[in-house]
A and B are shown apart, each in its own frame.
Chain A
Amino acid sequence: MNATDLLLLPVAVPLLAAAIVAGVGRLLPRILLDAVVLVVALGVASLGALLLVATRRHDVATVAGGWGAVHGHPVGIDVVADPMTAGLICLDGLVLAIALAYTWHYFDDVDAVLHGLLLAFVGGLAGFALAGDLFTLFVMLELVSVIGFVLTGYRIEAERSLQGALAFAVASTIGGVLTLTGIALVYARTGQLALASIGRSLAEQPADGLVAASFALVLAGFLVKAATVPFHFWTAGAEMVAPTPVCILFSALLVTSGVYAVGRIYHVAYQQALPGADVRPVLLAFGAASALVGALMSLGQRHFKRMLAFSTIAHSGILLVGVGLLNRDGAAGAVTYAVGHAGAKGALFCVGGVLLSRFKSVDENDLHGRGRRLAATGVAAALGALALAGAPPFGTGLGKALTEDAADSAGEQWLVPVLVLASGLTGAAVLRFTIRCFLGWGRPVDSGGVPGRRGEEPEPDPAGRLLVSAWLLLGLSLLAGLAGTGWAAHVGSSYVDSGAYTRALWGGPAPPAVAMHLTGWHATGLPLAFAPALLACAIAALWLLPGIGTATRAVTLSVLRPLRAMHTGRLGDETTWLLAGTGAFGIAMLLLRA
């Protein structure tokens, strides 16, 4: 058995397990169902690790169904794994396995429905990562979205859950429609659906309005998933109301997959048609906007999960910046950041879960000082806050440093203060919450935003297991920061290399291997690395100190007022902004190409 045989197993096995669980799961004891999902999740993670090894020197590709070209035209669906794909699959399995510790006794699983959905979710994510075909990407996107908004609306008795689920469903459906429109345009032009074949075909013709417009339309659905501003409104609602383990999956896996798709589609399909000089400014603008809007909004929240939701939007923007630099170093930074963020955000959601189980609340006002006896949880929260602020030695810190270096060498120095500010603000928000809740410092004061409600989530089981998950996730974030830059450089370089992708499919001479070296932590970079963490501490202090705190609050809330006014929570407004984002992206691409 070689690597190509393994390629579709991370999709087939979870889906088969999902079908079996859906069929006979209600006859099986709960512990067995949990065990099945855990084993499958770890299995997917192991397959991802195996694929990482297999893709060490070259990408691995196959065509589903064993189809070759017919009359010179590729006919089947390309399935390609490069190190980025393999790493994403590994992360999917790992995070699901760790988040699963949560589901024991958390959900009343009617008829094994939840377990079936989680299995199908991980299968869909794996299919998404492996897809080398635009339409397969769309189908897997829809699969993952459907399961996502069902899980968001899990607590049907809470009106907020329904609103969050509706917002997610409407946004992802419209995104899907726009993506499919773009796919139809590309298909009409090139007669291809496979990414590599589209790339080859578009390279042979001049890029006109159709190519530019289709790029914007195709990316729309994936930008919705990536929670990029202004496609992001669903994230703020959904992660606030979804059950906490689901939020971990969204922040760590769903959003990351969305950003992954943006880069993948550009590098393999559009790179030769639309030069990087045209695409980069647009992607960087959207990424920077997401980073800043998400970070600012997170500061003005009293609901811990909504705060984390906005910080996910901000960090996804940082990921998009890394990917949007369209070079190896940026991609390496993004992948390190993605793992670091997945761990940190997941750990913070676990902290939220502990608070819910003890105090039935995640409202900053409500919880003031009540966490004093939860020392371990408080430490985890503080570490999570520092990780969000990109403090070394967390993966977020290394990823941010790599991204900043990449931005610097690409001539986009303006990004550095943006990244520092975004990291600092989100770290400040979580740090402020942590200090208020676990130390009781500062006066209780309304930070704004949607208030939490008592008893809005049923209590999960005692905190012990949740804290284990939190430590594991923080450990993952640390691991990304301490594992050096070699692996990230390798992943990043193959991600931006469409040649490696096509060589795996169609063969061809491999260019001589270039030694890759990225500077990791270095002494001269330390002040910049610690800057956001220091900024976070400073801003948190401004909120907490007596006297100054009230002034800080007043200033922040008045600065935020226009932004908050846009977040009305109404479907009509959110849809309008989503369409505005697509329109802006499209017009930008059309103008830059002309």
Chain B
Amino acid sequence: MSGRGRAVVFAVVAAALAAVLGAGFAGLPSFGTSTHPYGDAAVHAALALRHTANAVGSVTFDQRGLDTLGEEFILLSAVLGATLLLRPERGERPARWEVDQAPSLPAVARGTALVLLALTFLLAISVVLHGHLTPGGGFQGGVIAASSLHLLYVGGGPSVLSRFRPEGAYDLLEAAGAAAYVVVGLGGLVASGAFLANDVPHGSTGAALSAGTVPLLNIAVGLEVGAGVVLLLSRFLRQEELTAAASR
């Protein structure tokens, strides 16, 4: 279609779509309604039945754990996919990073980056481990952990980062996290006849050791997401290196 043609057709299509959306949205309950039957049941299930203070975490990992399994493997597939799509082609060689290619940041900035790295990493671990108590959990904590590692890139440069990023080890960590999730699920199947059943003792609400399998799954996901995002970023950074090498 020509530019004008596409504009005309899209205008009509957008109007139709807006009409459909309007008809749909018109039937929605008013914003802020107090009728949330699934939500109330989920909160009761989280608190009374599973002693999980973070109801969202309970829904994500306990009540709707199968969705989270799928989500986790979407991330794994994305990392594999990025490896495939950003692989070095024939004739491409990565640049060898020399020390003098590190960004010339003043020492104060580099020092701050390293201090922040330690703090951020601790924060990440805290977010993952307390996923069943406070907002957060495996996904959020994993992303924070991966970001903390990349403060090395800011503070030290790509060569320093790659020293702390042995890809084989991260592959293993990511796979271990993903596999652990399935293994916990299969454990539930063997122990109680239901995949992803949460039949481990639930402790008392608000205690560090509570909510049964939720902290275990949080740790598994945190491991997988953290290692996965590091690998994902490493593929992109390597592609940068390849492009830089080619343009030199």
Contact = CB atoms under 8 A, between A and B. Distances in A.
Bound pair (A, B):
yes
Interface of A: 4-5, 7-8, 11-12, 15-16, 18-20, 22-24, 26, 62-67, 69-73, 75-77, 79, 110-111, 113-114, 116-117, 120, 123-124, 127, 133, 135-136, 139-140, 142-143, 146-147, 150, 153-154, 156-157, 181-182, 185, 187-189, 191-193, 208-214, 216-217, 566, 568, 570, 572-573, 576, 579-580, 582-584, 586-587, 590
Contacts of B36: 191
Nearest to A188: B28
A349 to B, nearest CB: 21
A156 B180 CA distance: 33
A587 B74 contact: no
Contact of A153 (B6, B71, B85, B193): B85
B106 interface: no
A212 B183 CA distance: 41
22 contacts: A16-B182, A18-B76, A19-B182, A20-B175, A64-B194, A64-B196, A71-B41, A77-B66, A110-B83, A110-B84, A143-B73, A150-B81, A150-B85, A153-B85, A154-B84, A185-B28, A210-B24, A217-B24, A576-B9, A576-B10, A579-B10, A583-B17
Contacts of A19: 73, 76, 175, 178-179, 182
A72 B44 CA distance: 11
Nearest to A71: B41
Contacts of B84: 110, 113-114, 117, 150, 153-154
A191 B24 CA distance: 16
A568 B77 contact: no
Nearest to A115: B80
Given A114-B84, A583-B13, 18 more contacts: A15-B69, A15-B182, A16-B186, A18-B73, A23-B174, A26-B171, A65-B198, A71-B41, A124-B73, A143-B73, A146-B77, A153-B84, A185-B25, A185-B27, A217-B20, A217-B24, A573-B6, A586-B16
Judged by DSSP, the binding face of B is helix
A213 B23 contact: yes
B176 to A, nearest CB: 7
Nearest to B190: A5
Given A26-B171, A139-B74, A213-B23, A157 B194 contact: no
A584 B16 contact: yes
A209 B26 contact: yes
Contact of B182 (A12, A113, A143, A579): A12
Contacts of A11: 69
A65 B44 contact: no
A207 B198 CA distance: 38
Contacts of B66: 8, 64-65, 77, 79, 127, 136
* Among B10, B20, B25, B189, residue most surrounded by chain A Cβ atoms (within 10 Å): B20
Interface in B160-198: 168, 171-172, 174-176, 178-179, 182-183, 185-186, 188-189, 192-198
A26 to B, nearest CB: 7
A63 B65 CA distance: 11
Contact of A62 (B44, B49, B83, B194): B194
Contacts of A154: 84
Nearest to B186: A12
B92 to A, nearest CB: 10
Nearest to B5: A573
A113 B6 CA distance: 40
Contacts of A18: 73, 76, 178
Interface residues of B, number: 74
B237 to A, nearest CB: 17
Nearest to A189: B27
A412 to B, nearest CB: 26
Nearest to A111: B83
A568 B9 CA distance: 15
Contacts of A70: 41-42, 44-45, 49
Nearest to A79: B66
A570 to B, nearest CB: 8
A146 B81 contact: yes
B87 interface: yes
Given A26-B171, A213-B24, A142 B179 contact: no
Given A19-B182, A150-B77, A210 B27 contact: yes
B63 A586 contact: no
B32 interface: no
A348 B127 CA distance: 53
Contacts of A111: 83, 171
A208 B27 CA distance: 7
A568 B5 CA distance: 13
B19 interface: yes
Contact of B20 (A22, A77, A146, A583): A583
A182 B44 CA distance: 27
A568 B179 CA distance: 44
B214 to A, nearest CB: 11
A62 B196 CA distance: 12
A190 B17 CA distance: 23
Contacts of B26: 209-210
A396 to B, nearest CB: 32
Contact of A116 (B67, B80, B189): B80
B40 interface: yes
Contacts of B38: 73, 75, 187, 191-193
Given A75-B42, A76-B64, A580 B13 contact: yes
A111 B13 CA distance: 45
A494 B21 CA distance: 33
A16 B183 contact: yes
Contacts of A139: 67, 70-71, 74
Contact of A67 (B17, B35, B45, B77): B45
Contacts of B171: 22-23, 26, 111
A576 B6 contact: yes
Given A73-B41, A117-B77, A150-B84, A140 B20 contact: no
Contacts of B186: 12, 16
A579 B71 contact: no
A449 B26 CA distance: 45
